[in-house]
Amino acid sequence: MDKNNILAVLEQLIIGQHFQCEWGIEWNEQQHYFELIFQFSLPNPNGISFKDAFGNSISYTTIPYETSILFYDKDHLNVEHSNYVNSIPISHNQGIAYGELFAIVKYLKHLTSSVRVEWLDYLFDSPHDAYFEICWNDHDFAQIKKGLIEANRYNSAPVFFPKNEAKGGLY
C-alpha cells in the first residue's frame, strides 16, 4: 500500500472498520475528485410505494439506497451545491492529515451503522412523501476527532491524491 496515496489509505481504513454495507471508491482523475459511495438494501416489509430518483413508483420488498461523500481538490474544483452527505476539500499541496481521514472513516462507520434504524423510523413514523437521507453531523464528527487527538491516535502525516505518472508526476 502506498502510504501517501489517499485512495489506498482510505480503502485500508474502510476495510479495517468492517462496514456493514456495500461500498466503493470512484476516482475521477480529470476532475480531481473521488466519491466514496455506500449502498444499502433496506427492508420494505409492507410493500409501501416510493418514488425513485427518476420519479418512478417502486414498491419492492427491499429498497436500494445509495449515498456518497465527495473528496475534492479545492485548488482545482469548486463545489457549490452537491447531493452528497458531505463534501470534503483537500489541498493539492498539503493533502489531508491521516488522522483526519481516520476520523472521517470512524464517523462514517457510525453514520452508516445507523442507516437501518433510521430507515425503519422513517418507514413507520414519517410521511412517505418526505425524502429519506442520512445527514453529516459536524458536532458528532468533531467529537470523534477530539477523542482521537486526546488518545494520541491522531496522526498529522499528510496523504495526497494519486499522482499520474503519465503527466510528469502531476495529477
Q: Are 61 and 45 within 8 A, CB to CB? A: yes
**pLDDT in single tens digits along all 171 residues of the chain:** 466 899 999 999 999 999 999 999 999 999 889 999 999 999 998 888 887 778 888 888 999 999 999 999 998 888 866 789 999 999 989 999 999 999 999 999 999 999 999 999 988 886 666 778 899 999 999 999 999 999 999 999 999 998 764 443 333
Q: What is the DSSP letter of 160?
A: B
Say if strands 50-51 and 57-58 run parallel, antiparallel, or are unpaired. antiparallel
Please count the structural domains in the chain. Answer: 1
170 in a domain, yes or no? Answer: no
Alpha helices, DSSP H only, in the chain?
6-17, 98-113, 115-125, 138-150
pTM for this prediction: 0.88
132 in a domain, yes or no? Answer: yes
Q: How far apart are CA 68 and CA 162, in angstroms?
A: 20
CATH assignment at residue 110: 3.40.50.11250
71 in a domain, yes or no? Answer: yes
Instruction: State the distance between the two ends of the chain, measured CA to CA, in whole angstroms.
Output: 19
49 in a domain, yes or no? Answer: yes
Q: Provide the Cα torsion 155, 143, 40, 7; round to 10°.
A: -20
